[in-house]
Structure 1
Amino acid sequence: MTFKTTMLKKISLLILLVFGLTSTIQAQKKTKVFKLESYGVLPDQRENSAPLLEAALKKIKSEMVTADSVVIQFKKGRYDFHTDGAVRREYYISNHDQDNPKIVGIELEGFKNITIDGNGSDLIFHGRMLPLALIENNNVKIKNLSIDFEKPHIAQVKVVKNDTIAGSIIFETAPWVTYTIKDSIFYNAGEGWEMQPIAGIAFEEQTKRIVYNSGDIAVGTTGVSELSPGLIKAHHWKNSKLIPGTVVAMRSYHRPTPGIFIHKGENINFENVKVHYAEGMGLLAQLTENISLDGFEVALRGKDDPRYFTTQADATHFSSCKGVITSTDGLYEGMMDDAINIHGTYLKLLKKVDAHTVIAKYMHHQAYGFDWGYAGDSVQFIKSKTMDLWDHKNTIVSITPVRTTKNEPIKEFRIEFAEDLGNEIDPANFDIGIENLTWTPSVIFTGNTIRNNRARGALFSTPKPTLIANNLFDHTSGCAILLCGDSNGWYETGASTDVTIRDNKFVNALTSMYQFTSAIISIYPEIPDLGNQTSYFHSGIRIENNEFETFDHPILYAKSVNGLIFKNNTVITNQEYPPFHSNTNAILFERVLNAEVTDNTLNGKTIDLLNRE
């Protein structure tokens, strides 16, 4: 490199730095700060902040100039939100119950270039609410706040006595639980709601880990009697694993709303935001481009929190998003499902109208009512039974909802494509799914801790580059990582083609059995007819330099993969629990091509872990 070239590079770098600094200063000069206390939204009043904040946001929006960069600040403290006076909205939220209207605590709609700074505030919700909805926003940051509910819809109880011979259990309710007993049935109750728990998750009292090999359990909420306030005898509850001291989160399977709902946004960022409880997922985003989570938590309130659970379902969930999804330095614990799930949604092809036009439909009861695609989007087609993809890709020319009235939620679409579909792509020949390739994201999932949760750790289903690195998966009760894809039941797309899993640590994952959990890392597309599959579903998967501490055998399971590397990984066995999994192979492949399994160690010894039977 010449002296002149070096100097030119230095000058160019200096210009860029000066320009960046100037831009930053200009941006700072244009930033306008609105303090919510000036609009009557004050902390620690124990009054209903919902209508006050709604009025303040409307006023602030009217005072904003389009070019403004705006910061809206809470004064640090506690803010309570009740259903009375809160806005009602019709939202169709992916992977949630499609009941409407939703009662919304805070709605941000149509904002641009704003930051909501909570200054460490606690937002406490009451009843059954959607705490925070972000609708069609651009360049929005939420930071320094937490979301919680005064009375969660999960009833936490502790086992006091377990008579396994008589088949009865005495339990005590946590201090914050309000309950009623009617006709010998236990109901958990709160502001404007009441429900009978029908299932439970059992936690070890001291560690807050889910009880080994327990999974979802039945709970004794029918045939109960009150021995004294807060002390209940379940006369027909038999489970030998529930030793005295065991804490049980008694729950239903309802998931009406997430803690945070993001719809049709662009450049949405979260920094130091915590969700301590939500009746659905912690955060659900759909049809949004570019989302970053920096230090995001779905977590307990520290080690002294008396609760053992967080959200009713996934910590975070991203449906039909695009751009880049980033989660860095997060904490996900105690939730009743996965830490993160990223996917699109297959439509089922119902009818071929002509060579360019089809009728297609949302199939899962928790996924409908929102847009699926737009003119110009790229799509591909899949045979549902074998999960074989056609090489034929196509482009949407037009897509129109098929419904009798505008008030009817969207379930079906009439879609016209740019190119002839050919004779084979016809629902008369096969069950066919359609995947929208445009609405698929790249993923960066790094530096996160996932622990003590139900079901699985992290799920990724996207053809774009996916990096899973430097994370700790600690006692996830199902598998730690799942690469899936299903055009038959969940209808969640799709094929992963560029996945790197490196430098992660896995500690005693897979302590219970759940769907698709065949190993700590499970590559498990749902393929009803694997024997007649002619191609491969997933490809381009690299698993390198990870550390597995495990009490059981299965480390990696893979099905229908072309191109898989498992290299330089360390496996260390322990005796924390007895092995129980039906899969006794460290590595088990079904229909896998071009696999490299090399330089892995088991208890310090280099060994071929692959089952080659």
Structure 2
Amino acid sequence: CHVQFTQIENFTIDFSGSTLWFDDARTAILFNKNTNLTVKNFNIDYDKPVFVQGTISYIASSGSELHMTMDADYDDAYNIIGNGGKWRAVAFDPTTQFMKPQVNGMSVYFYFDNQTAQGDYILSYSGFYGVSLQNSGLEVGDRITIMPRVGDGRALKVENNDGFRMENVNIYASPFVAVAANVNKGHLEFSNVNILRRPDTDRLLAGNADGINCASSAQGPLIEDCTLSYLGDDSINTHVPYQRVVWPESSTQMLITSLGYAKSEVDGGDPVTMNFFDRATMLPLGQRKILSVETVYNYLITPSTTIADLDIDPWYSGPAASLRYDATVTVYRITLDKALTLNDDTIATIEGYLGGGTIIRRCEGIGSLARGFRIQTPDVMIQDCLLKNTMGSGISLGGQPHYWGEGPYVTHAQVINNTFIDTNIGSRPDETGEYASLHIRTGGDYTTSYIQHDITVANNRILDSGGSAIIIRGIDELTLADNVIDNYVRFEEPISSLDSSVAGTGFGIVVDQCRGVTFKNNFLTNPGNDAVGEVFTANIIDGPADQELAASDWYSKGASGSGVTTTEVSDASPLSWLSDKPTVQITDTSSSYGASYGIVYNFPTHSTDDDLCIAFDYKILDVGNNDLQLEAVTYNSSDSPASFLMIYRDDNGTHGLASHTNQAVTMLGYDIDPLRWYRIEMVVKNVTQSSRNYTLFVTDDQNVTTRFDNLPFRNAVSDMASFSIHNNSGGTQTGGFVVDNVRVGTLPVSQTNPIYEYEVGHHTANNFIAYSQQSSALPWLGSVPVVYTDTTSSYGIGAGIGYTFTKHETDDLLSASFDFKIGDSGSNDLSVNASLRSESGTNGNFLKLNDSDGAGGYTLANHINSGTTPLNIPIDPTKWYRVEMLVRDLVTASADTYDLIVTSEYGTVYRVNNLPFRFAISDIKNINIFNNSGNTYTGQVLVDNIHVGNKQISDPLVIDSLTNYADPQTTVDNLAFNPAMTEVKLGGNNWKKQAISYTVTADTWISFKFKSDTLGEIQAIGLEEDDVQTPARFFTLAGSQSWGGTIFDFDNYTHQGWQTYHIPIGQYYTGVMNYIVFVNDDDANQASDSQFRDVIIYDK
């Protein structure tokens, strides 16, 4: 390297805006073995080009020859990168200077001394996957860069540091990876670190390989406010190399490639936990503790001394890249705490060294030869980012247990509020054999391992995707919600290596082999010419389909004849996708036929008291006189009609919805306009009790939902089996309509508490609401982030953001929550208040979000008539907070108190009970967040994740202080945790307790998820007063033994994978509980496991 900073402690290096120029392709600066070092305010560049670029002037009609006219001064690159070789190449559009779509990946043979007589450079094309030059997508006139990857040519290296931060840095060139951050521990942060084409130059590239590459670090990086552009590989790559087993010497002793930082722990007498996996499938083989480690030098690699077949699967990254037959390498002999038999190629990960905790926010990845963000480590948040002009995926989540040997896997990930534009535009798939703008796939055999779990993809916008917008395979617990996809599958997709029954080629969204799927409110519009459908699903377990009743394909009935037509059309609804049922159009131009004519859908007879939810989208066409009277009718299994809903009823010149009972028609006051789409959902409860009414949700094409309760049935029925949409006006009327998104299920698709944003108070051009590009740092709940800004000195008091929802007017619990952050606009002297408001307009409470603490900071405060009471909850204006207001007994108590829970983005939780209301109210219909300080004040507040419901929203229990319960019970003590400490895995024979303090009342519930890969004797959970076994406190979930006195009402764990439990614990016992206890009892075999996660104790 040119410059090295090493062994510096607790120091800041400020370069004060200096530009550092370097004259050869070595690493520019190395930061090595420092502690708590900050570096900032500098620029990096090389004084000669580190690549060549020019314009393609000739392409041979056969063979591999092409010519390039080199741009001026790029021949100076000879002095820094050498004469030439087989180098990577990138094509650019000559007009836009973006990377050119549909150009195959390639290398070219380039040499400075190989020119035509006219001075153009002669290149020889080498296309990936055997693609010929003539099929490469290259054209004469295209711009092209050709770049080597110089072995030590990192612009910046960050290695072996314990606490490191880099800020305000611009990198204008790099001969290889721009920022290589390897083998670090402690915090690793990059803020406003930009990789850019140098301004005022004609450069096409900013870096020859990855932008920021973080490898083998104990925890993931924080990367924020960075622009990473025009790169010869991924914009961001985070990974930890797998430890590869070299040879099992015995069942308790083996040779592996590396232990990294974990070796020092073992050498110091602290065993570490290692998880073993079959490399080909990634199926878990077991978890063991490493008791000792010994370095073995000069180990000879041969087929008989290596368990892996290195001819079939050699690796090219990390310590295992040195494994080649006849090579002599350094390996490590480890001793395990108990036996493990290995028969095939095996890899491993080390708990605590998985690189977890990556946060990427407000970053831009623009112009990437590979992927935008390639994340292969757990516990990740990607939010508020822009991905643009990437040849591969905009974002990829998943490890690669082959070729590179990078991973390990992605769990607990949130991909929130990002924008993808012109991503996935290359012409070749990645190493999995497919590509998508957002690609999430478990490495190995994704159909069996399920090692990737708890992933949320929400509020993203994917525009102009070259192929599929989203492909997700092999995920346990997946949420896919509120994503907008426009213009997808623009180009013909390559033939998938997967079977056609699961490939989903040509679909906008593909979800395959996933468990615990939540799929809602995803919008797909403008399919490309090569798209074949919107959503493709295969092998979904515990997903939306499990709550669906498989509706039949449509068929027609009624008086048909000349002028009456029914056809399938491509005029799809713009509302969120519900089903793959075809769009059906019915037109009637006859004056003799059409009475009672329409389409019918059958479904399996529903004869339980579970909700029955019938949904469809429809649009009235401008056909004939538009005087059809359309009706949606439900039927029982005997074909007797039950409910009659008129969905297009003439009401003195206007048309709207109406309830139809016998001969009585009651207009609902909801107008229906022709040529607009509407969603109808009818929710029927207690059908076996001879249903008499139902709930109706109507959503228009602006996504506004209106709810109608207790609509009457015309005839009582005790089961349901079909519904129709038909004309009920007679044969002389004419018109037409279209039906789409037909779905029948047991869970509603409409919001039960739809939330709408509106302006509160006086708004001008200087105090306004806008959608925010910045979303909350707290876990996603489900709304679009907005910001209220006030820069006027004339208006503003009482102005802000309002949210309305279905009126709450019962004594049931109401939970109203939102996330907020005080912004940085103006002088920041607004007094930001949050109020729960009644339908009549009375603000019940006044919660001040940024009250002065008297020392120059902010605190929360409750404002009542007699004054303001500080709550001693500190508010940092640069951080996000979640506020949850809990109201009980609204009607009988007229809301004179409420409870408050506040959670910071760092996980600190505050709770204050029995806060007084300023004004008593007996219903709640709005949340207002507004300025209450006066017209002359200015400032800003950001709001996200508005949520209203009848259940407390609490963060999961942090499981970080477990001790033995009823101590003699624990004989084999294996524990593992996820990075956020919200999930624990108990192995062996293990009973554990954690101190809590919770008063269990009749309204207390406990919710959690449970999983067991190997069932034991007793697997249970409970709350306890003390350390003495009380069987009546425990809920048995699984196991071969019957522990007398325990509660078996929830002993129903039946399937492999995570199962969700909601237990009304207060109905079984009450009182002050001091511990939560997790039980994995297996005295005989000591081989079972019990996994608990997302444990929440709450009152309902």
**1:244, distance to aligned residue in structure 2 (A):** 4.1
**CA drift at 1:162:** 4.7
Q: Which residue of 2 aligns with 1:332?
A: 228
The answer to whether the 8 Å contact 2:44/2:172 transfers is yes
Contact 2:110–2:124 (8 Å) recurs in 1: no
Q: Where does residue 227 of structure 1 map in the other structure? A: 117
TM-score of the superposition, structure 1-length normalised?
A: 0.72
Asked if 1:209 corresponds to 2:98, the answer is yes
Identify if the C-alpha distance between structure 1 residues 224 and 574 changes in structure 2 by more than 3 Å, giving closer, same or farther: same
Question: Residue type matched to 1:600 in 2?
Answer: N
1:487 aligns to what SS in structure 2? coil
Aligned 1:305-454 pairs, distance under 5 A: 305-361=201-257, 373-374=263-264, 375=266, 376=270, 377-390=272-285, 392-404=286-298, 411-417=330-336, 419-420=337-338, 422=339, 425-427=340-342, 429-439=343-353, 440-454=355-369
Matched, 1:593 2:487: no
Is the 2:366–2:387 Cα contact (8 Å) retained in structure 1?
A: yes
- State the shift of 1:154 in Å: 1.9
Query: Unmatched 5+ residue regions in structure 1?
Result: 1-103, 180-187, 363-367
Per mean C-alpha deviation after superposition, the further-off stretch among 479-488 and 564-573 is 479-488
Pair 1:195 & 2:94 matched:
no
In structure 1, what is the equivalent of residue 590 of structure 2?
Answer: none
Letter in 1 for 2:333: R
AA aligned to 1:225 is Q
The structural deviation recorded for 1:558 is 1.8
Q: Relative to structure 1, is the Cα distance of residues 567 and 190 closer, same or farther in structure 2, using a 3 angstrom cutoff?
A: same
Where does residue 19 of structure 1 map in the other structure?
A: none
Shift of 1:521: 1.0
Query: Is 1:526 aligned with 2:443?
Result: yes
After superposition, give the CA deviation of every residue in 1:291-347 in whole Å (9 maximum; x if it has no partner): 111001122123x43111122211011111123510101001111111111111112
The aligned residue for residue 619 of structure 2 is: none
Would the aligned equivalents of 1:155 and 1:197 in 2 still touch at CA under 8 Å?
Answer: no
Find out whether 1:607 has 2:607 as its counterpart: no
1:203 to partner: Cα distance: 0.9
How does 1:468-479 map onto structure 2 within 5 Å? Answer: 468-479=382-393
Residue pairs, 1:507-522, within 5 angstroms: 507-512=421-426, 513-515=428-430, 516=432, 517-522=434-439
Q: CA deviation at 1:354?
A: 4.0
2:290, 2:32 → 1: CA distance?
Answer: 25
Number of the residue aligned with 2:376: 461
CA distance in 2, matches of 1:298, 1:609: 42
Name the CA distance, whole Å, in 2 between partners of 1:269 and 1:276: 20
SS at match of 1:281: coil
Distance 1:317 1:581, change over 3 A: same
Alignment pair present for 1:267 and 2:163: yes
- The counterpart of 2:75, out of the listed 178, 191, 195, is 178
Give the CA deviation at 1:195.
2.4
Given the superposition, is the C-alpha separation of residues 543 and 574 from structure 1 closer, same or farther in structure 2, using an over 3 Å criterion? closer
Tell me the distance in 2 between the aligned counterparts of 1:452 and 1:207. Answer: 12
- Which deviations, in whole Å up to 9, do the C-alpha atoms of 1:172-218 show, x marking residues without a partner? 21223227xxxxxxxx6214833224431101123221111113234
Please give the per-residue CA displacement for 1:389-411, whole angstroms capped at 9, x wherever unaligned.
24x43333333332149xx9964
8 A contact 1:201–1:215 mirrored in 2: no
Write out aligned runs for 1:24-103 (5 A): none
Shift of 1:385: 1.5
Equivalent residue letter for 1:396: I
Please give the alpha-carbon distance, in whole angstroms, between the structure 1 residues aligned to 2:58 and 2:99.
Answer: 19
Which residue of the partner structure matches residue 21 of structure 1? none
Q: From the superposition, tell whether residues 235 and 567 of structure 1 become closer, same or farther in structure 2 (CA, over 3 Å).
A: closer
Aligned letter for 2:71? A
Verify the 8 A CA contact 1:121 1:145 in the aligned structure 2: yes
The separation in 2 between residues aligned to 1:588 and 1:277, in whole angstroms, is 38
- 3-state SS of paired residue (2:247): strand
1:584 matched residue in structure 2: 506
SS at match of 2:201: coil
What amino acid is the match of 2:574?
Answer: K
Larger Rg: 2
| 1:321 alignment partner AA | S
**Other-structure match for 2:1007:** none
| Aligned-partner residue type, residue 412 of structure 1 | V
Paired AA for residue 401 in structure 1: T
User: In the alignment, is the contact (CA less than 8 A) between 1:588 and 1:611 conserved in 2?
Assistant: no
Counterpart residue type for residue 379 of structure 1: M
Secondary structure of 1:586's counterpart equals strand
**Using the alignment, how far apart are the partners of 1:345 and 1:288 within structure 2?**
14
User: Aligned match of 2:54 in 130, 154, 157?
Assistant: 157
Alpha-carbon distance between aligned partners in 2 of 1:586 and 1:401, rounded to the nearest angstrom: 51
* C-alpha distance in 1 between matches for 2:124 and 2:393: 34
Q: Distance in 1 between matches of 2:49 and 2:10?
A: 33
Query: Would the alpha carbon gap of residues 521 and 373 (structure 1) be closer, same or farther in structure 2, given more than 3 Å must change?
Result: farther
Instruction: From the superposition, tell whether residues 607 and 579 of structure 1 become closer, same or farther in structure 2 (CA, over 3 Å).
Output: farther
Aligned partner of 1:257 in structure 2 is 153
* Identity percentage of aligned residues: 17
Shift of 1:536: 0.9
Instruction: Give 1:554's match in structure 2, choosing from 454, 459, 468.
Output: 468
How many angstroms apart in 1 are the aligned matches of 2:154 and 2:234? 14
Residues 1:399 and 1:206: Cα distance change in structure 2 (over 3 Å): farther
Distance (whole Å) between structure 1 residues aligned to residue 124 and residue 329 of structure 2: 46
SS in 1 for 2:511: strand
Deviation at 1:170, TM superposition (A): 3.9
Q: State which of 33, 41, 50 in structure 2 corresponds to 1:144.
A: 41
Q: How many residues align?
A: 481
| Counterpart selection for 2:400 from 486, 489, 494 | 486
User: C-alpha separation between the residues in 2 aligned to 1:105 and 1:610?
Assistant: 60
Q: 2:1063 — aligned with what?
A: none
Q: Distance in 1 between matches of 2:468 and 2:81?
A: 46
The structure richer in strand per residue is 2
- SS of aligned partner of 1:190: helix
Q: Distance in 2 between matches of 1:584 and 1:201?
A: 26
Shift of 1:507: 0.5
Query: Against the structure 1 CA distance between its residues 456 and 601, is the aligned structure 2 distance closer, same or farther, given a 3 Å change threshold?
Result: same
Match of 1:114 in 2: 11
Q: Is the 8 A contact 1:502 1:544 kept in 2?
A: yes
| Partners of 1:270 and 1:294 within 8 A in 2 | yes
Shift of 1:228: 4.5
Q: Identify if the C-alpha distance between structure 1 residues 394 and 264 changes in structure 2 by more than 3 Å, giving closer, same or farther.
A: farther
Cα RMSD, aligned residues only: 3.0
How many angstroms apart in 2 are the aligned matches of 1:347 and 1:218?
31
Q: TM-score, normalised by structure 2?
A: 0.41
> 1:163, CA displacement in angstroms?
6.0
Change (3 A) 1:236 1:442: closer
Residues 413 and 257 of structure 1: CA distance in aligned 2, closer, same or farther (over 3 Å): farther
Aligned to 1:134: 31
CA offsets per residue over residues 6-29 of structure 1, 9 Å max, x none?
xxxxxxxxxxxxxxxxxxxxxxxx
**Cα 1:474–1:581, aligned 2, differ >3 Å: closer, same or farther?**
farther
Question: How far apart are the structure 1 equivalents of 2:372 and 2:513?
Answer: 24
CA 1:402–1:558 in 2, change beyond 3 Å: closer, same or farther? same
